[in-house]
Amino acid sequence: MENEQTQSPSTIVTIKSLPTKIGSEQTVQGHVHAIRRLGSLVFMIIRDQSGLLQTVVENELLVSLIDQVNPETPVVVSGVVVAHKGSPLGVEMQLTSLRVLTRCEGILPVEIAKENKLTSVSLPVMLDYRPLTLRAPSIRSIFQVEAQICAGFREFLSNQEKPFIEINTPKLVSTGTEGGAQLFKLDYFGKTAYLAQSPQFYKQMMVGALERVYEIGPVYRAEEHDTSRHINEYVSMDVEMGFISGPEDVMQILEQAVKHIIARLKSQCVEQLSLLNAVLPSTEKFAVVTLPEAMTILKEKMGWAGAEEGDLDPSGERLLCQYFDEKEGVEFVFVTGYLQSVRPFYAMPTIGSNATCSFDLLFRGAEISTGGQRIHEYKQLVERIESRKMVVENFSDYLQCFKYGMPPHGGFAIGLERFTQQLLRLPSIKLASLFPRDCNRLTP
């Protein structure tokens, strides 16, 4: 192809920067997003990390070269930047040179440039061709949003007056955090090990060392249901904090963190949110309701017929969010006081009742975070383990920190993919996972 000399990295600019360079000759690199022909003119759309650029090709030699180029071909192009009101970017490039970096083999199995066709394909097809469908602007926008969610989470916690320290805990463990059947078992040099359901035990241990900690990392649940709400590997954004007065301290940090994340998305993801037709929620007010109050509202106001087992089912969560959205214009709802029977053994019991100092944060019809105060007294924790018919010796490492002094503490976890799904109103949580894992999918 023309202009085969190697481009110096310093001469390459991003597509997004071109509106400030009208009248000059610039060089960009990216994939050929689409090619359109209009008489003697050829319009080639180039896509890089920052956006899309329309290039106009009039030179006969370049037109003949473009005939050999397929969509998704990686290229380096140069040309003069000119104003163009009809372009979303406000500019286009009059192409003067084209260099192909790699040739495509065959025709694309999915049409990445035609967003309307891409979004109409079935979810299995979307995921089967995930390495390709992730290139579509609307699809990759999801993960640009997720990146900013994580950045906002880190930024908020790290910049507190008493900062939270980021940690990285093991994902191969000797026992399940919460027990039950949702454990992936594996052979570990002749011993039984599990993939971590949660960093819960480790982040509690680290409260004794660092007082305030957080982690963003994968967790694993052997979930057998293949639904729009479930995946077996997801990213958990965890927080644990010591020297609290009660669960309200934890709820306050969670609320402030969510507000900070939403504010960051408003400033950093304008283009992505527009492309996804996503409307961010108001964070002016978070509702707080006890579980008994929530059940009363659901039964008397919303006709809910869920079972009274100290918990809310998905339909209850959806209806409760609908109620507060319609009555108060509130999209975030804290539900507090879940019963001991539906909470892990380490949840702090409420004095004089069967409830716990725990909460869920519901958003747009789904639970996006669970948290609360934990038991910090050694003897009480041992009693709770025994009451669940679990073997205390299996938790000996975990119990060390409690035996030798732990402050009152608590924390929460936000499921990144679930939060993203609700924020962007995605039809399936799998669309918020780069390469989702469910009970039927282990590839790509």
pLDDT in tens, 51-100: 999 999 988 888 888 888 999 999 999 999 999 998 889 999 999 999 99
Helix (H) / strand (E) containing 52: strand 51-57
Residue 210 has pLDDT above 90, yes or no: yes
Across the strands, what pairs with 43? 36, 56
Residue 9 has pLDDT above 70, yes or no: no
C-alpha pair distances (Å), 94 with each of 6, 21, 214: 21, 13, 49
Q: How far is 95 from 78, CA to CA, in rounded Å?
A: 6
C-alpha pair distances (Å), 121 with each of 115, 133, 228, 243: 10, 11, 16, 51
The CATH H-level (homologous superfamily) assignment of domain 132-432 is Bira Bifunctional Protein; Domain 2 (3.30.930.10)
pLDDT at residue number 60: 85
Is 127 within 8 Å of 436 (Cβ atoms)?
A: yes
Domain ranges within the chain, ordered by starting residue:
9-100, 132-432
Residue 5 has pLDDT above 80, yes or no: no
337: left (phi over 0), alpha (psi -120 to 50) or beta: left
Burial class (CB in 10 A: 0-12, 13-18, 19+), 217: middle
Helix (H) / strand (E) containing 207: helix 200-210
Residue 277 has pLDDT above 80, yes or no: yes
Output the pTM of the full model: 0.93
Residue 435 has pLDDT above 50, yes or no: yes
Q: How far is 40 from 376, CA to CA, in rounded Å?
A: 76
Q: Which CATH class is domain 9-100?
A: mainly beta
